[in-house]
Amino acid sequence: MTTISLFHRYSGISTVVFQEKKIIFSTYEAKKIDDISILSFLSDWKPSTNLVTMISYNSLELYGLFQTEVDSQTTSILIGPVISARPLVTENYRYFSFYSMHSISTITDFLNLIPRLNQFEFSEYLSLFFYTITNIQQSSSDIVAQKYVIIASVEGDDYQQPIILDEPRENILRKTYDEIGLYADAIRKGDLKQVERLFQKQVLYHQFYSSQPKQNLYNLISLSALLGKVAVDTGLDFLETASVGSTMISLAEGLTTPSDFVATFKKMVLGYCNQIEKEIHNDKYSKSIKKAVNYIDKHVHDPLSLEDIAKYVKLSRPYLSQLFSKEIGISLQTYIQNRKIKESENLIRYTKMPIAEIASSLSYCSQSYFTEVFKKQMGLTPLEYRKKTLSQ
C-alpha cells in the first residue's frame, strides 16, 4: 500500500483497492463499494485479460482497473477518476457517474481536486503504475487502444455523442484563442452582463486546471497582459489599467487551488470591465464633471473636501455642486461617500486589512463612524460583510 500512497501523493490520482465487496484500502473517503459510482456501471463487465483497462465514462471521466493476486486472493485496483474534458460547466454535471450521489456544490468542490488529464496522458500514468504493482509491461498506446467506453444517457436527453471530447492540442489552442476573444469583446464594450454570462459558462476556466500552481500563475499573467492591452487600446490610462493586473497577480502568488485562480481571474476581468464601463458612462458628462469624478477616484483615500475639488476643476463650489447634481443625479457629497464605501467594500472583500485600518486609510474620523456609514449603505457592519463574503 506504500507504493499506492506514493503514487497518489505525486500524481494526485486516487486509488481504491478492494476484494469482493470489501474495500481494503482507499486514498479518499470511500467506506464501501457503493460509494464508488463507476462500479455500478461495470456490473456486467468482465476483464478479458489480466492487464489494466482504461475506462471512459461519457468522455468526461477516465479510470484504470485491473486485477492481481494478493495473498492468494483476487484483488481489484481502481485508479481514478481523472477528468478528461474541458471546460467543465455545471450543465454537464449530470453526465458524471457520481452526479446523483452529491449536490452541485459538492461536485464542484470534488472536481477541483481531480486531476485534468487527457487519455494519452492518463495512459502513461496507468502504464507506469501497473508495471510498478505487477512487474508486467503494458504500453500506454495499447491501453488507449483497448479502452472500455461507457456512454450513459440521461433521462429526457437524446445524448448520442460525448459532450466534450479530448482534443488535439491545436484545437485547444484555437478554442482558447476564441474564448479570449469573447472576453476581449466584452471588456472593450464594458459589457458586465456579457462577462457574467461568460463566467456562468466557465469560459477560459480550463486555463487554471493545472495541478501546478506555478503554471496557473503563468496563465493568469498571460491573460492579464492580453486583456489589459485590450483595456488600454480602448483609451484607458495605462497605469490605472496595469494596477488591476498587477494587484490580481500579487494576490495570486500565494494561491494553490484551481478554484482560487479562477476567482482571481474573475476579479481581474471585472476590474478591467468596470473601468471601461465607467469610462463609457463618463462620456455623457461635461469635461468639468469628468475631471471631478477622476479626482475623487484618484484621491478616494484622502480627506476629500468640496473646496479642493472645486479648485481643481476651476469652478466655484456652489456652481460645481449644482452642476454635479444635475449631471450625476446625486449630490457631490453623496458621491464621495458612495465612492469611499465602494472602495472599503473591495478592501474588506479582497484583503485581510483590519477594519480599523481600512477606516483610517479612507480618512474616516473613527472606526465607529465608518461602521455607522457602511451599515447604513450596505445593511451590514463591515465585519458582518467580511464574514458573509468569506462564506460565499
Q: Is the dihedral of CA 309, 314, 319, 320 positive or negative?
A: negative
Which cell goes with 280? 463609457
In a domain, 213, yes or no: yes
pLDDT band at 283 (very low <50, low <70, confident <90, very high): low
Sorted by sequence, the CB contacts under 8 Å of residue 77 that are 6+ apart come out as 4, 15, 16, 17, 65, 66, 67, 68, 133
Tell me the mean pLDDT in the region 152-178.
58
Do 135 and 92 have their domain in common?
yes
Looking at the structure, do residues 35 and 64 belong to the same domain, yes or no? yes
Does residue 9 share a domain with residue 135? yes
Among 83-97, 109-123, 187-201, 219-233, where is mean pLDDT lowest?
A: 83-97
Average pLDDT over residues 386-390: 83
Residue 201 clears pLDDT 60, i.e. is over it: yes
Report the share of the chain in percent with pLDDT over 90.
22
Model confidence pLDDT, tens digit, residues 124-145:
999 998 888 888 888 988 888 8
Same domain flag for 23 and 97: yes
- The pLDDT-based confidence of 153 (bands split at 50, 70, 90) is low
Cis bond upstream, residue 354 (ω within 30): no
Q: Is residue 237 part of a domain?
A: yes
- Residues 139 and 17 both lie in one domain: yes
Does residue 9 sit in the same domain as residue 117? yes
Domain enclosing residue 34, as ranges: 2-150
Q: Is 54 found in the same domain as 138?
A: yes
Is it the case that residue 265 has pLDDT exceeding 50?
Answer: yes
Q: Please give the pLDDT value at position 158.
A: 40
Same domain, 195 and 263: yes
pLDDT of residue 166 exceeding 50, the answer is no
Residue 171 lies in a domain: no
pLDDT (mean) for 59-69: 85
Residues 317, 310: contact at Cβ < 8 Å?
Answer: yes
- Residue range 236-247: average pLDDT? 76
Residue 341 CA to chain centroid, in angstroms? 27
Asked if the structure places residue 160 within a domain, the reply is no
* Residue 163 placed within a domain: no
CA atoms of 100 and 88, how far apart (whole Å): 17
Q: What's the domain count of the chain?
A: 3
Domain boundary among the residues 231, 250, 278 is at: 278
Tell me what pLDDT residue 45 has: 65
pLDDT of residue 41: 79
Domain-terminating residue out of 278, 310, 341: 278
User: 43 in a domain, yes or no?
Assistant: yes
Sequence-ordered strand ranges (E) for the chain: 15-19, 22-26, 53-57, 61-70, 73-83, 148-150
DSSP string, 106-132: HHHHHHHHS-B--HHHHHHHHHHHHHH
Higher pLDDT, 383 or 59: 383
Question: Nearest Cα to 148, choosing from 75, 47, 33?
Answer: 47
Of 248, 278, 308, which residue sits at a domain end?
278
Domain identity same for 126 and 198: no
Whether residue 346 is contained in a domain is answered as yes
pLDDT in tens, 85-122: 654 556 667 778 888 777 777 787 777 778 888 888 88
Say which CATH number the domain at 341 has. 1.10.10.60
Task: Categorize the per-residue pLDDT at 282 as very low, low, confident or very high, splitting at 50, 70 and 90.
Answer: low
Same domain as 318, residue 259:
no
Is 318 in the same domain as 345? yes
- Check if the beta carbon of residue 201 is closer than 8 Å to that of residue 157: no
CA atoms of 300 and 313, how far apart (whole Å): 16
Mean pLDDT of all residues in the chain?
82
Which candidate, 230, 226, 206, 207, places its Cα nearest to that of 217? 207
- Decide if pLDDT at 159 tops 50: no
Question: Does the global pTM surpass 0.95?
Answer: no
Interval 18-48: pLDDT, tens: 887 788 888 776 667 777 888 877 766 666 6
Are 259 and 328 in the same domain?
no
Asked if residue 162 belongs to a domain, the reply is: no
- Determine the Cα angle at 222 with ends 219 and 226, to 5°: 140
Look at 22 and 157; give whichever has higher pLDDT: 22
